[in-house]
Amino acid sequence: MKTIEQNNVETVNQFIEAFWNQSELDSVDRFLSDDYQELAYQSKEGLKKFAATILEAFPDKRYTVEEIIGQGDRVLVRMTVKGTHQGMFFGTAPTGNTIDVTLYRQYRVVDGKIAEHRGWIDMVTMWSQIRGS
Amino acid sequence: MKTMEQKNVEAVTAFIEDVANQGMLEKTDQFFAPQIVDAFTDRRFIVDETLAQGEKVVARIFMTAVHTGHFAGNAPTGRTVKATQFREFRVIDGDIADHRGWFDTATLLPQIQAQ
């Protein structure tokens, strides 16, 4: 018998793999709740749009979960994203440089569906790697 | 009766809010971390939220400070900023065994960029 936290962690891991790694953008329909609150990218559509931007800029991007903990309905993830800058990224033309950036995401999971998301990322490190400086 | 997680969160919160530990809270593995103490003055750390599971506690911390020096290509603005830091702790038998911190810069940069 799994605890609610274990189930929530599993849901978040599955979503990260399907959405961020396999780029199944429509997986939001099965993972996210109807009343989903997106606090990093404004909305479900904003989330999909951002993922598409990342995919275009870093077609080989790979997200790796390095730490994940659950407490109650909350799940916190520390992960890295690695990839090669091969497309436009917020006005910066492809440089061919590689990125390896840490980010944190916090989710709230209710009845097996992700109901809320917030995100934090180290943009100073990311821009420094993109510019190769 | 408190759970182990509750006791661990209390130990971590007391650690973060003890100014004697502030020097440790200012260190991270990020390449720019040494610039933080040069570019921001009057630094204060408060706990925003904690998550605990077993011996692990992750604290989301706010560092408030004044932007008085160059940081990541941005000239000093004199603005008061609020930076988020995550710090992950392992607590064993009530004692902090180790911890590692990480500054979020996505929310920091817009606060210090020229408008």
Structure confidence at residue B114 (pLDDT): 82
Structure confidence at residue B2 (pLDDT): 86
Structure confidence at residue A11 (pLDDT): 98
Q: pLDDT per residue over B10-32, tens digit each? A: 999 999 999 999 999 999 999 99
Q: pLDDT per residue over B47-85, tens digit each? A: 999 999 999 999 999 999 999 999 999 999 999 999 999
- For every residue of A50-63, which 3-state class applies, written as one string? HHHHHHHHCCCCEE
- SS percent in chain A: helix, strand, coil, step 5: 35, 40, 25
**Cβ separation A124–B109 shorter than 8 A:** yes
Give, for A15, the enclosing helix (H) or strand (E): helix A4-15
Task: Find, in chain A, the residue whose alpha carbon is nearest to that of B73.
Answer: A124
**Cβ separation A74–B51 shorter than 8 A:** yes
Task: Find, in chain B, the residue whose alpha carbon is nearest to that of A5.
Answer: B53
| A43-54: average pLDDT | 96
Structure confidence at residue A61 (pLDDT): 98
Quick check: A97 and A129 in contact, CB under 8 A? Answer: yes
Predicted-complex ipTM score: 0.94
Q: pLDDT per residue over B29-46, tens digit each? A: 999 999 999 999 999 999
Give the domains, in start order, of chain B with CATH numbers. 4-110 (3.10.450.50)
Q: Is B67 exposed, middle or buried (0-12, 13-18, 19+ CB in 10 A)?
A: buried
Structure confidence at residue B99 (pLDDT): 98
Kindly give, in sequence order, each residue whose CB lies less than 8 Å from that of residue A78, ignoring residues fewer than 6 positions away: A65, A66, A67, A68, A102, A103, A104, B86, B88, B102
Structure confidence at residue B104 (pLDDT): 98
A133: pLDDT strictly greater than 80: no
Structure confidence at residue A34 (pLDDT): 97
| A102-124: average pLDDT | 98
Give the domains, in start order, of chain A with CATH numbers. 4-131 (3.10.450.50)
**Cβ separation A122–B31 shorter than 8 A:** no
CB pairs under 8 A between A and B: 54
Distance CA A20, CA A40 (A): 15
A113: pLDDT strictly greater than 80: yes
Quick check: B50 and B13 in contact, CB under 8 A? Answer: yes
| A79-94: average pLDDT | 97
Structure confidence at residue B59 (pLDDT): 98
| A64-86: average pLDDT | 98
Q: What percent of chain B has pLDDT over 70?
A: 99
Structure confidence at residue A1 (pLDDT): 82
**Cβ separation B88–A78 shorter than 8 A:** yes
Mean pLDDT for chain A overall: 97
| A56-65: average pLDDT | 98
Structure confidence at residue A52 (pLDDT): 96
